[in-house]
Amino acid sequence: MTEQEIQTRDQEFTNNMNLMYGIVAEMREIPQLPSEAPKDVSALTKVEFLEEGGVLTWMEGHEYPYKGFPFYEFVDRIDYMKKLTRSFLSGLYHSFKPIRKVWILTLIPSIWVSKILLRAIIYTFYRMIERFRIKSHRYCKSVRELYRAFTYEDPSEKSQDTQLRLQLRDLMCMILEFDNAYRYRFQDIMEDLDILVIKEKPLNEIIRLFDIMSSREKTQEIKDTWTLIKSFVYYYVKYDKSLLKILANTLYRINTEKAILDEGDRHYCEKRTDYNFKHYDVSKRILSQ
């Protein structure tokens, strides 16, 4: 196929996609929200599959390649799961908010039911991404490190906990790989992870990290999201020792040098206006002195 034929094919594909988006926009009862519109769209110039693992996507107007390949079908699936989780936690929070805390204590004897429910939810989400999972060595460097930390073998671990850990691993890695908003936040907060505390007092350290992320958010909506997640973790995970152990062991095993933001990541973080990344806060303070 000649270069001219390739350009013609690509143009026809673009025209068809624009036509379909126009038809969908006309059919929708609720118009597309500004937050749902694509931002910073750049022309794709090259895609590299690295021997050491990962995929690099080169785009016009960018000095550094984007880590990963944000295929729309994967991104949409992850975005749907993210919104569903946020809505579930929000509904749960507002349902319990009017109830006195002393009455909530009466639910403690039935905490085992919550463990079954949570595992069913995780399994449901896992099945949603199971057919879309990418090869583990094609994750970007930071996500590959998280994948490695999750993939440890604990001789004392029960078989049902192993299943939970592996499902959580695939879910979290797919979310971070195809949602750069959460991935960059994860990489940013890894600079603040205290390995010694996560070993001795894991729940305290996890809550502290959530507080730091929330303090760096610029929008109240995302601050509220971290509040919901933190509340769930605080009031639930302390009773689910198996889940807490999985999270603590994973964070303890992470090599933060491989997980934190590098220069290429920071290039794309510069364009984000919804979060105060630690690196740029420090840079601004140095320049102002």
Among the listed residues 167, 190, 168, 174, the one whose alpha carbon sits nearest the alpha carbon of residue 253 = 190
- Residue 121 sits in the same domain as residue 12: no
- Residue 123 sits in the same domain as residue 259: yes
- Residue 102 sits in the same domain as residue 233: yes
- Residue 223 sits in the same domain as residue 130: yes
* pLDDT confidence of residue 288: 41
- Residue 148 sits in the same domain as residue 30: no
Question: What values do phi and psi take at 158, rounded to 5?
Answer: -75, 155
- Residue 120 sits in the same domain as residue 24: no
* pLDDT confidence of residue 289: 39
Among the listed residues 22, 40, 39, the one whose alpha carbon sits nearest the alpha carbon of residue 31 = 22
Q: How far is CA 210 from CA 110, 170, 175, in A?
A: 27, 21, 17
* pLDDT confidence of residue 270: 86
Number of domains forming the structure of the chain: 2
- Residue 142 sits in the same domain as residue 200: yes
- Residue 102 sits in the same domain as residue 31: no
* pLDDT confidence of residue 84: 78
* pLDDT confidence of residue 196: 92
Strand 55-59 to strand 44-49: parallel, antiparallel, or no bridges (unpaired)? antiparallel
* pLDDT confidence of residue 287: 38
* pLDDT confidence of residue 249: 95
Tens digit of each residue's pLDDT, the chain (289 residues): 566 665 666 566 556 656 666 666 666 666 766 555 555 556 778 889 999 999 999 988 889 999 998 887 788 888 878 777 777 767 666 665 655 554 455 555 556 678 888 899 999 999 988 888 999 999 999 999 999 999 988 888 999 999 999 999 999 999 999 999 999 999 999 999 999 999 999 999 999 999 999 999 998 888 888 888 888 888 888 889 999 999 999 999 999 999 999 999 999 998 888 999 987 654 444 334 3
> What is the pTM for the complete model shown?
0.79
What residues make up the domain containing 229?
72-281
Strand 55-59 to strand 66-67: parallel, antiparallel, or no bridges (unpaired)? antiparallel
Structure tokens at 150: 């999750």
Contacts of 1 by beta carbon, 8 Å cutoff, 6+ apart: 9
- Residue 193 sits in the same domain as residue 241: yes
- Residue 27 sits in the same domain as residue 78: no
- Residue 164 sits in the same domain as residue 252: yes
